[in-house]
Amino acid sequence: MKNTQRPIGIYDSGIGGLTVAHAITKLLPGEDILYFGDTAHLPYGDKSEAAIQAYSIKIADVLLKKGCKAIVIACNSASSAAYELLKEYVRNDAHILNVIDPMIAHVCEHFAGEEVGLIGTRRTVASGVYHQRLAETCPSIKLRSLATPLLAPMIEEGFFNNQISHEIIAQYLSESGLEGIKALILACTHYPLIKKEIDGFYNGHMAILDSSEIVAMALKDHLEKNGLAHSGTRSSKRFFVSDYTPSFEASTRLFFGKMVHLEQHRLWN
């Protein structure tokens, strides 16, 4: 198989990474996609760094064996915990992309000198990765971070666009630490599923930054620069899970508009 025809691998702990996968398929319709949802270990946001690294290595092995030319870590927690390790582990077998660096580049380009808010899992916020990267690349930006640990499990359970999610979102976004911001980074790939609710809280007067489209553009640029882009008009999508869940199957249908077949692939026997 030519390098250009090899598939793109995407992984996350659950349904959040489907926001990235959907954006990639819209922007790159000719690319074959392999998605791995590590549903046996979701959510990653409350797992240790060592655990996330172990899961990531196992998933990378699965995607490499299936010939992926690029692997997108479609999870902020895994991007902060496992990106450097995966780059070293995979080496020249595939290109590794995370969801953090494209967002940092976007924020630096559009919000230099401003106060910017961020909401994410405990793991992502505690890692300080966004603060560190912004300090290195755009120190004029003041970042205000807030851990919002209830949001990812709430979304995984299907509680969004209802009264429960409205109240939880409003409780978090009313925190004083987010006052005065000019933009809000959604530092979890689950959060685009509640982007409209977040936008509603701010009455449409806040720049809401989700990584799905930004990451898709970064992947497109990366493939083109490295001669890996596939210009075909037909493509396939395969979905793997480490543990079958009806909610994941339903969410996949919601994103891709048709019945999908989930292939179970346990990371440990």
* Bridge partners, 119 (sequence order): 146, 186
Torsion angles phi and psi, residue 70, rounded to 5: -145, 145
Looking at 68, 108, 138, 188, which residue is catalytic?
Answer: 188
- Provide the 3-class DSSP secondary structure of residue 195: helix
Q: Closest Cα to residue 182, out of 157, 202, 155, 161?
A: 202
Instruction: For the sheet with 95-98, list strands across it.
Output: 95-98, 70-73, 8-12, 33-37, 237-241, 262-264
Distance CA 102, CA 97 (A): 9
Are 127 and 104 in contact, with CB atoms under 8 Å apart? no
Torsion angles phi and psi, residue 267, rounded to 5: -75, -30
Distance CA 239, CA 10 (A): 10
CB environment 145-171: b (16+ within 10 A), e (fewer): bbbbbebbbbbbeebbeeeebeebbee
Active-site residue flag, 68: no
Distance CA 256, CA 10 (A): 15
Q: Which residues are catalytic?
A: 75, 188
